[in-house]
């Protein structure tokens, strides 16, 4: 099967085609529906049918193209960008261009044969779009609220800020109603949300965001795999006899880590499992941010546990 490496940007994407022992053929296309069709025509002109396409998992810009290729019957792999970066270092790659990156992704796919990806079902894609839009609106509201409480004294500016904050509040409420309606209309999603909400520290917003970002939560083989998806597994750097402090791997979803930060702070105070866990870490002399990161991981593991088991949260989860 031919290998297709794809380096995707906002306005365009570069494709690198590997067929047998031939040198990679590289071409760029606009990152829109017309560009997707041009890519397929380009492949057909080279007598290439099905391909294994490999892309970096960079969110919406990659997922639209990945979904299009998957629906045409191609094998598609979405790979964490850090894996591609590490592969490039192992090859001693110095060139940093879109064409070179596409060729690098193609070689990575040829060597490592990453697992196939399939797009979430339509309801999940809609939920992801709504949840991410909600987070963007909340960020905007926070910025405008900070400006409103700042040193600005001009009445017209303050009036504009207040009006915009009110508008953003209305938009957020409308988005949240759409999210609730979507989940309430899907028995499986509704059950997952209701179970996650039983965990102290995870409210409605956190629960729906976790479902949106981890749509196949029950399919993970264990809790460690879920934590790895969020980049919440510790990575230890060791060289010779020198051992540095452990840190988060950060190889997973930055969006998930961000979503879990404030819920973890709440859980450290009100969730008996997390509070006890954080207390033990503090007694062992762990740094505050290490404790927060561990609490984030523990919260995600608890979410996985209640959804996987189909049982509401209980303090006995901490004994497992």
- Rounded to whole angstroms, the Cα distance separating 294 from 226 reads 14
Q: Which helix (H) or strand (E) holds 297?
A: helix 288-309
Best CA proximity match to 208, nearest among 232, 225, 186, 233: 186
Q: In the structure encoding, which two tokens stand for residue 125, read together?
A: 């894609």
One digit per residue, the tens of pLDDT, for the chain of length 320 reads 899 999 999 899 999 999 988 888 999 999 999 999 999 999 999 999 899 999 998 767 788 999 999 999 999 999 988 889 889 989 887 777 889 999 999 999 999 999 999 988 889 999 999 999 999 999 999 999 999 988 877 889 999 999 999 999 999 999 999 999 999 999 999 999 999 999 999 999 999 999 999 988 888 888 888 888 887 876 544 444 444 455 555 556 788 889 999 999 999 999 999 999 999 999 999 999 999 999 999 999 999 999 999 999 998 765 44
Specify the pLDDT at position 320: 44
Residue ranges covered by each domain of the chain: 2-112, 122-185, 186-238+245-320
Specify the pLDDT at position 218: 85
CATH number of 2-112: 3.30.420.40
- Rounded to whole angstroms, the Cα distance separating 245 from 170 reads 45
Specify the pLDDT at position 242: 44
* Extended strands (E) in 63-125: 75-79
Model confidence, pTM = 0.78
C-alpha angle 20-23-26 in degrees, rounded to nearest 5? 110
Q: How far, CA to CA in Å, does 213 sit from each of 59, 65, 145, 166, 201? A: 11, 19, 27, 28, 18
Specify the pLDDT at position 63: 87
The torsion defined by the Cα of 182, 187, 189 and 192, in degrees rounded to 10, comes to 140
Residue found under tokens 């561990």: 294
Specify the pLDDT at position 238: 45
User: Using CA of residue 119, residue 123, residue 124, residue 126, what is the dihedral sign?
Assistant: positive
Q: In the structure encoding, which two tokens stand for residue 132, read together?
A: 């991410």
- Rounded to whole angstroms, the Cα distance separating 119 from 117 reads 7
Q: In the structure encoding, which two tokens stand for residue 130, read together?
A: 């709504």
Specify the pLDDT at position 247: 53
User: Using CA of residue 249, residue 251, residue 253, residue 258, what is the dihedral sign?
Assistant: positive
- Rounded to whole angstroms, the Cα distance separating 255 from 233 reads 15
Q: How far, CA to CA in Å, does 319 sit from each of 99, 112, 298, 307? A: 51, 38, 12, 17
């Amino acid at each position: 099967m031919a290998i297709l490496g794809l380096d995707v940007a906002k306005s365009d994407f570069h494709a690198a085609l590997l067929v047998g022992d031939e040198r990679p053929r590289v071409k760029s296309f606009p990152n829109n529906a017309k560009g997707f069709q041009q890519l397929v025509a380009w492949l057909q002109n080279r007598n290439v049918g099905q391909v294994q396409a490999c892309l970096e998992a960079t969110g919406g810009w990659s997922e639209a193209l990945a979904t299009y290729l998957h629906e045409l019957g191609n094998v598609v792999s979405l790979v964490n960008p850090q894996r591609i970066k590490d592969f490039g270092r192992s090859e001693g790659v110095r060139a940093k261009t879109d064409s070179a990156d596409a060729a690098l992704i193609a070689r990575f796919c040829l060597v490592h044969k990453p697992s196939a990806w399939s797009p979430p079902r339509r309801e999940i894609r809609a939920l992801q779009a709504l949840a991410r839009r909600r987070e963007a609106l909340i960020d905007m509201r926070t910025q405008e609220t900070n400006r409103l409480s700042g040193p600005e004294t001009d009445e017209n500016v303050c009036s504009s800020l207040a009006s915009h904050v009110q508008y953003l509040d209305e938009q957020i409420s409308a988005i949240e109603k759409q999210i609730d309606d979507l989940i309430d209309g899907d028995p499986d999603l509704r059950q997952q949300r209701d179970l996650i909400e039983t965990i102290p520290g995870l409210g409605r917003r956190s629960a729906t965001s976790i479902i949106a970002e981890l749509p196949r939560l029950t399919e993970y083989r264990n809790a460690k795999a879920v934590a790895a998806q969020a980049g919440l597994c510790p990575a230890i750097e060791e060289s010779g006899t020198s051992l540095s402090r452990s840190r988060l791997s950060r190889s997973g979803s930055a969006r998930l880590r961000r979503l879990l930060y404030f819920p973890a702070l709440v859980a450290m105070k009100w969730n008996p499992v997390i509070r006890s866990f954080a207390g033990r870490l503090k007694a062992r002399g762990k740094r505050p941010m290490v404790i927060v990161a561990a609490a984030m991981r523990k919260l995600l593991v608890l979410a996985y546990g209640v959804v996987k088991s189909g049982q509401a949260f209980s303090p006995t989860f901490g004994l497992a």
